[in-house]
Amino acid sequence: MKINVSGIENYDTMSAEEKVAALEAYEYEDYKSSFDKASHDLAESKKQLKAFQDQQKSGDSELDALKAQIADLKREKLLADLTAQYTALGYDADLAKSTAEAFADGDTAAVIANQKTFNETREKALKAELLKQTPRPGRGGTGEPGASTTKADIMAIKDTIARQEAIAAHPELFINT
């Protein structure tokens, strides 16, 4: 390290012994070492701060990841519960899942549209079932609505096989006779 001699008066005109005595008496502060120490301390503090911030960020990201995972699990459970409930009501699996998702998302229009689809499908199925259960008019009947087959009508059938079929179709007419 060099000493700045411009602060010593008449240094250029002094003799060697005077220069040595002036330099010995000269008090200077070691700015470089103070600056180096302060720079080192500042760098250490920055490292510690960065490490702390990184740790905090990783903790925050882990917390955010856990919160997202919990939210996903809650949604999956809600969807499973709603799908099971809609399936129990008679919805087919795809429509039940779609309705559950719409309900969970708050999409009321989709829920109502799915209910309408379910009602239409259910109504068609009920009509088909009722048509299957509707009794057919017997042979030999008049074919008019409200006309019923009697025991005498069945017994009047000449074809033996057709008569046996009519008896099988109307066993209530032949009980206790």
pLDDT band at 1 (very low <50, low <70, confident <90, very high): low
Give CA–CA dist 93/146, Å, rounded. 42
Question: Would you say the C-alpha torsion 80, 86, 90, 93 has a positive or negative sign?
Answer: negative
Quick: pLDDT tens for 84-101. 999 999 999 999 999 999
Quick: pLDDT tens for 55-84. 887 777 888 888 999 999 999 999 999 999
Give CA–CA dist 81/91, Å, rounded. 14
Domain ranges of the chain: 40-135
Q: Between residues 143 and 22, which one has the greater pLDDT?
A: 22
Query: Residue holding tokens 């008896």?
Result: 167
Q: Which two tokens stand for residue 54?
A: 């990184």
Q: Which two tokens stand for residue 121?
A: 């499908």
Give CA–CA dist 72/78, Å, rounded. 10
Quick: pLDDT tens for 18-29. 878 877 776 666
